[in-house]
Amino acid sequence: MTHEHEDASGVYLRSLGVVDANVFVAAVMQGEAAHAAAISFFQTAGGLSASSQLGMVHVPEIWFLECAGALNRAAQKGRLQASDVEPRLDQIEQLVRYTAVSVWDVWAESSREIVRLALCYRCTVPDACYLYLAKDLAAPLITCESPSSGLPKAARAAGVAAISPADWQLPS
């Protein structure tokens, strides 16, 4: 099922899915395995490629903190220079300018349900925020995590499609 959302200019955008923060991070981390797929995803979602249609992606309010945390961990592990963290965050903000991103405040009203999802599906509370939003919107969850890891496994167990950016296709 796809939902339509009207943007500020009155254009209707199709709901393309809930996007895990790691997809944003992969898009700005050249050399990462999922980099090309993440870039292609945002080009299509944002209407920047010839085959694309405008659509909206959804994130919980914690997404930017998760992006910053992932870039910080990459710097601490030596995969990224500390001086490159802020410019990469700027690049993520640029992605948001070219892709319709709907930020949802899921925690304020749904914290108990999110904690229940985390406990039930054995995932982290931040991952449960993405899972909750995907369930609530009846939308696929787009993530760079391995299909056998925490969030994709939790999503499948909860009846939510977990899709890698490489396997994602525009809904018809």
* Residue 152: inside a domain: yes
Give the chain's residues under pLDDT 50. 1-8, 50
* Residue 91: inside a domain: yes
* Residue 169: inside a domain: no
* Residue 142: inside a domain: yes
Q: What is the dihedral of CA 115, 119, 122, 125, to 10 degrees?
A: 20
Query: What confidence tens digit (pLDDT) does each residue in 41-89 have?
Result: 888 776 655 455 567 889 999 999 999 999 999 999 999 999 999 999 9
Identify the pLDDT of residue 14: 73
pTM of the model: 0.85
Identify the pLDDT of residue 96: 82
What CATH number does residue 57 fall under?
3.40.50.1010
* Residue 113: inside a domain: yes
Identify the pLDDT of residue 109: 78
Identify the pLDDT of residue 3: 44
Q: What is the dihedral of CA 142, 144, 147, 153, to 10 degrees?
A: -60
Identify the pLDDT of residue 172: 57
Rounded Cα–Cα distance for residues 18 and 162 (Å): 10
User: What DSSP character marks residue 94?
Assistant: H
* Residue 171: inside a domain: no
* Residue 137: inside a domain: yes
* Residue 155: inside a domain: yes
Identify the pLDDT of residue 170: 61
How many domains is the chain partitioned into structurally? 1
Q: Residue 150's domain spans which residues? A: 4-163
Rounded Cα–Cα distance for residues 67 and 62 (Å): 9
